[in-house]
Each structure stands twice: as C-alpha cells, then as structure tokens.
C-alpha cells in the first residue's frame, strides 16, 4: 500500500493505492493521517480509487481515522470508492457515517 498526500484549497487529499489490510496497509494509513494532524492539517479527503481490497482491520482503521480526526475538530471524508469497497461500507452501515464523494472538486468544496 502507498499513501501520497497533496493539498488543494486547504484540503489534504491522501491518494491511497493497494490494499488496506492488517499490518502494513493499516499502519501506512494511520501514519499518513497522523502526520497531517501533527501539522494541524484537519481537513482530510481519503481517495480510495486505487484501493483494490479492504479487510475488516482496514475498515476499522478507516473508522479509527474518522474518529481521531473528528475528535481534533477536523473532518475526514472519502472519495471514489470502488464497487467492492462501497459494498463493504454499505453492508457494515458505514455509509451512514462517512461522507462519500465521486467527484474530487465537489468533495473539496464540501469542507
């Protein structure tokens, strides 16, 4: 898994690529979010377009990131879910928790 961060109009977009699974994948996501929070960057958009697979630990890490950012007064939103990731978040009722966008520009405007 790789995580690359870019900043557009005050929103930090983390482009994730690969698999968010127990071990390396979840650690990379956690570190990417933590690094932004340490710089007081609290508007975070996770781009999941190139995430091919998420296991239950990965889902847990998304939730954990969401609550950590929220507890610090920030917002964490999701961009470009693949169908399978969408299905996983739907069946776990997490689409009621996360704000999800298909369009990056609209996602940025929402912060």
Partner 1 sequence: MPSPVLLVRGFQFVELHPRFMSSIESTVEVRIRSSLDYTDLVENITNNLTFLAGCDSDPAYFIEMAVREVVINAIRHGNQYDLDKQVRISFRFDADKFEVQIQDEGKGFDFEHLPDPCDPSNLLKSSGRGIFLVRSFMDDFSLTYVPNQGTLVKFVKKLSRS
* H/E segment holding residue 110: none
* Among 42, 59, 82, 104, interactor with partner 1 by CB under 8 A: 59
Taking a C-beta distance cutoff of 8 angstroms, is the pair 37, 74 a contact? yes
Name residues contacting partner 1, limited to 71-90 (CB under 8 A).
84, 88
- The span of 16-24, 31-39, 41-49, 102-110 binding partner 1 (CB under 8 A) equals 16-24
3-state SS class at 104 = helix
Judged by beta carbon, residue 37 or residue 94, the one nearer partner 1 is: 94
Q: Which two tokens stand for residue 11?
A: 């929103």
The alpha carbon torsion through 41, 108, 53, 56 (nearest 10 deg) reads 60
Report the interface residues with partner 1, using CB under 8 A: 21-23, 53, 55-57, 59-61, 63-64, 66-67, 84, 88, 91-94, 96-97
């Amino acid at each position: 898994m790789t995580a690359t961060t870019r900043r557009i109009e005050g929103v930090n977009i983390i482009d994730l690529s690969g698999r968010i699974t127990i071990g390396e994948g979840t650690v990379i996501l956690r570190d990417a979010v933590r690094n932004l929070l340490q710089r007081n960057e609290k508007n975070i958009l996770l781009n999941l377009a190139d995430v091919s697979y998420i296991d239950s630990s990965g889902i847990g890490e998304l939730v954990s990131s969401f609550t950590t950012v929220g507890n610090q007064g920030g917002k964490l939103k999701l961009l470009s879910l693949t169908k399978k990731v969408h299905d996983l978040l739907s069946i776990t009722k997490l689409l009621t928790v996360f704000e999800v966008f298909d369009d990056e520009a609209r996602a940025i405007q929402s912060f």
